[in-house]
Amino acid sequence: VKSEGPKLVPFFKATCVYFVLWLPTSSPSWFSALIKCLPIFCLWVFLLAHGINFLVSHRSASRILAGLIFSAVGDAFLIWQEQGYFIHGLLMFGITHILYSSAFGMKPLDLKAGFLMGLVCSSCYAFLYSYLSGPFTYLVAVYIALIGFMGWRAVAGVQLCNDLWTWTKLSACIGAMLFMVSDLTIALNEFCFPVPYSRFIIMATYYAAQMLIALSAVESRDEEDSRKRS
């Protein structure tokens, strides 16, 4: 908390600015896009504050930074979703999930967690299917598969039972789950029925998810520092 907390202050301030201004989605503008993306920009700065050498030498951190960049582009597209840019935003976030999955890695495999995540994602798609039409029938299926895979890799890394977990792996796990809650709320609100307080739920869980995933990138730095002290 002492080492990473101060670096996150700009993120918390930018998030507060977003919720205080609460710009209407009915009048998209570059200013509203900037305010919405500002917390994600601050997470770029958070990772860059650890040094370019750190990002270059640790692939997981650089991939999470790349994921945050694609997320910001996706956020901007979704500001103009009523003008036909929803699919563009979906594509950007799909790439984000691929990058996050790559950052979390494939070890340990944990097939049990993968099976459970597949079951959850299949159930969600089965519920959404009757509400989907046109290209969204398969686009949503692909997107759910990508975010489900990302969630599996984040959950698999925790290993609570083996006492091998770290706070950063737990952070990635919680962040991935919150990302899934945010996107499921978007899907329900967009394709099925109006969700009460949907915008607040979507953005609160989204910003929290991105912050926690960004925090997970500093794990390799913690391990490096501990080796130096030993």
What would the mean pLDDT of 90-106 be, rounded to a whole number? 97
Query: How remote is the C-alpha of 50 from its chain's centroid?
Result: 20
Which amino acid appears at position 121 of this protein?
A: C
Query: How remote is the C-alpha of 64 from its chain's centroid?
Result: 9
Give pLDDT, residue 167: 86
Domain that holds residue 57: 4-229
Give pLDDT, residue 113: 95
What would the mean pLDDT of 25-47 be, rounded to a whole number? 92
Distance CA 154, CA 177 (A): 9
pLDDT band (50, 70, 90) for residue 142: very high
Looking at the structure of the chain, the number of domains it has is 1
Give pLDDT, residue 91: 98
- Give the three-state DSSP class for 109: coil
What would the mean pLDDT of 94-106 be, rounded to a whole number? 97
Q: How many CB atoms lie within 10 A of CB 208?
A: 17
pLDDT tens digits, 156-207: 998 766 666 788 899 999 999 999 999 999 999 999 999 999 999 999 999 9
Highest mean pLDDT among 91-100, 150-159, 165-174: 91-100
Give pLDDT, residue 226: 45
- Give the three-state DSSP class for 11: helix
pLDDT tens digits, 217-226: 986 444 444 4
Give pLDDT, residue 150: 98
